[in-house]
Amino acid sequence: MDDEIYLLRDKERDEVEVYDVTTYQLLRCLTVPNCSCGVTDMTICGHYRCVYIGDYGVECVHRLGLDDGATTQWPVNDQPHGLSVNKAHNVLVTCRRVRKIKEFSSDGNLLRELTLPGDVINPWHAIRLASGEFIVCHGGEEDTVRGVSKISADGRHIVHSQRGSATGQYYKPRHLAVDNNEFVFVVDQNNGRVTLLSPTLNNIRQVVSSNQLKGYRHRLCFDLQRRRLYVTDNEWLLGTSGQVVVFSV
């Protein structure tokens, strides 16, 4: 937003780093008070000009105003994992353990919660489409069902899905991005790649292969205006080290 890139780091203070979108120079750091060591995801809202950060350590979402620096937090009452903002400028919080998507207003009022179908196990991240349907990535290495599903607007039915761990499918799909034509980017942590899917979740191509990155691929973000895909590439050594790799798509 505003030609700036916002990067969430898992550390004790100055959790959000802000970079110039052209030079990639660090511009400033934003401190989020009362953040635990359990930050999970971040999303930004241009309408309300704020950043939301999921914190499973205290089961809440932190809200940071970008103009006034005001910080608040509100309870999720479940561990939050993926965050996204829908067209109504509300926050969608994916709660993996209870298989729910919770929708909150910008000031933290719970508007509704959806329980996902029974075979959508361990959902990590969800994005609501203009149609009202949801794209959800789900499943881990120990789950027999894992992949990406399009869910009906009421959360009850699977409309399309792509599943399995064979070539071109998934091992641990962790995060999503959707372009303006509803094509879907999926980052697969354990297979180490990013895949592009059609709106009906058919394979288009592999955007990022496993040999282009060297660490854990947990998150991605798509810049529609510049056609850039930002992918985190984290290594777990003595603590956490990593980088963001930028791809033109």
pLDDT at residue 105, as a whole number = 98
pLDDT at 24: 94
Cβ atoms of residues 148 and 182 within 8 Å: no
- Is the pLDDT at 184 greater than 80? The verdict is yes
Tell me if 62 sits within 8 A of 77, measured CB to CB.
no
Has residue 69 got a pLDDT over 80? yes
Task: Report the pLDDT value the prediction gives residue 240, as an integer from 0 to 100.
Answer: 57
- 84-99 pLDDT, tens digit per residue, is 999 999 999 999 999 9
Cα torsion 4, 53, 111, 121: sign: positive
pLDDT at 13 over 70: no
Predicted confidence band of residue 239 (pLDDT cuts 50, 70, 90): low
Mean pLDDT of 181-190: 88
Beta-bridged to residue 62, according to DSSP, are 53, 73
| Rounded CA separation 201/204 (Å) | 9
Assess whether pLDDT exceeds 70 at residue 4: yes
Q: How confident is the model at residue 166 (pLDDT cuts 50, 70, 90)?
A: low
Question: In Å, what is the CA distance from 88 to each residue of 46, 48, 72, 84, 149?
Answer: 12, 11, 20, 11, 22
Mean pLDDT of 124-141: 93
217 pLDDT band (50/70/90 cuts)? confident
Spatial contact of 245 and 233, defined as CB atoms under 8 Å apart: yes
CATH class for domain 44-51+63-248? mainly beta
Residue 143 Cα to chain centre, angstroms: 20
pLDDT of residue 36: 76
Question: What pLDDT, on a 0 to 100 scale, did the predictor assign at position 85?
Answer: 97
pLDDT band (50, 70, 90) for residue 53: very high
